[in-house]
Amino acid sequence: MSKLFSRPSPAMIVACLALLVALGGTSVAAVTQLARNSVGTPQLRTGAVTNPKLRNNAVNSAKVAPRSLLRSDFAAGQLPAGPVGPQGPAGPAGAAGPAGAAGVIGAITVRTASAPVAGGAAENGAYNSARVTASCQGNERAISGGTSWSDDTAGRELMTGELEPQLNAQNQVVGFLGVGLNDSGNDSTFTVHALCYTP
């Protein structure tokens, strides 16, 4: 009786083994599943997880660590403005600024007052005198003052013995008082002038 099957050749055995390994590897690859939580940061290349690879709404509040997002992570206008805070304390006074330009004094009005002074005898030291005050009016202030005589003849002894400013309660000059001395032997009028302006 003849044999139904002959002994396979070595080449056939190698070919069958190769086919078996190939089929076995494919089936293993097809059914292999990754264990839960087995893929972590070490297994992911930098930049490997991109936006298209994320399912819509996959990243939600539960996936974000509290206080981990910054203002720069949000688009402009996405974050509402907070309430206005209380006013802070006043800062220290700054350094004094430069002096301003000098002000301009308005029109000057000359206020005068006069008194006659008898000449008496033309004798050295025998003076007749008069005290005269010229005052500014209203809220005017005096900027300067002076005196004059009605007799301007040469050689007459007509003198101003005193000229002093007159002050108001705020220590502002509001006029001038003058003392006229006459030793000429001729009567003459003594006048005090106050130059007044409105501040």
Residue 37 in domain:
no
Its domain, for residue 133, covers 108-197
Mean pLDDT of 102-127: 86
Q: Tell me: the pLDDT tens digits for 17-38?
A: 776 666 665 444 444 677 777 7
Residue 11 in domain:
no
Amino acid at 120: G
Mean pLDDT of 123-130: 83
Residue 72 in domain:
no
Burial 68-77 (b: 16+ CB within 10 A, else e): eeeeeeeeee
Residue 31 in domain:
no
Residue 70 in domain:
no
Residue 156 in domain:
yes
Of 63-72, 90-99, 153-162, 165-174, highest mean pLDDT: 165-174
Confidence of residue 56 (pLDDT cuts 50, 70, 90): confident
Residue 184 in domain:
yes
